[in-house]
Amino acid sequence: MRRVGFVDVRAVRDDRTKPERLEAFSAYASGRHRASQFMAIADDAYAAGLQRLEAALRDAPEGLELPSPFVLVTIAGGKPTRRSAPIAPPG
């Protein structure tokens, strides 16, 4: 962004990781619909992942909580000004 003239460029990382019960994640992962991010996964890979999740549920103690990672990164920059804009190369 700086290379094209933006000023005061900054990135803020907001870690929103929280514990989540394995059962709750399983219910969420099983809800594959046309607007689901799981649609990006090939059908056979999705089915294999669900099988692994079901096996983990069978072997896990009831109520097991695991970290559910989620990090939001916000990148912002100020509008270029004439004074801050890079000089275009000749030609």
Note whether residue 88 is domain-resident.
no
Note whether residue 41 is domain-resident.
yes
Global pTM exceeds 0.75: no
CA distances from 7 to 13, 19, 45, 72, 74 (A): 19, 38, 43, 22, 15
CA nearest 6: which of 87, 83, 86, 79?
Answer: 79
Residue range(s) defining the domain that contains residue 19: 2-78
Structure confidence at residue 38 (pLDDT): 85
Q: Is the dihedral of CA 72, 14, 80, 87 positive or negative?
A: negative
Note whether residue 91 is domain-resident.
no
Note whether residue 51 is domain-resident.
yes
What is the residue-level pLDDT of the chain in tens, covering all 91 positions? 988 889 999 999 999 999 999 999 888 888 887 778 888 999 999 999 999 999 999 999 989 999 999 999 999 999 877 665 555 555 5
Count of structural domains, the chain: 1
Note whether residue 85 is domain-resident.
no
Do the Cβ atoms of 54 and 2 come closer than 8 Å? no
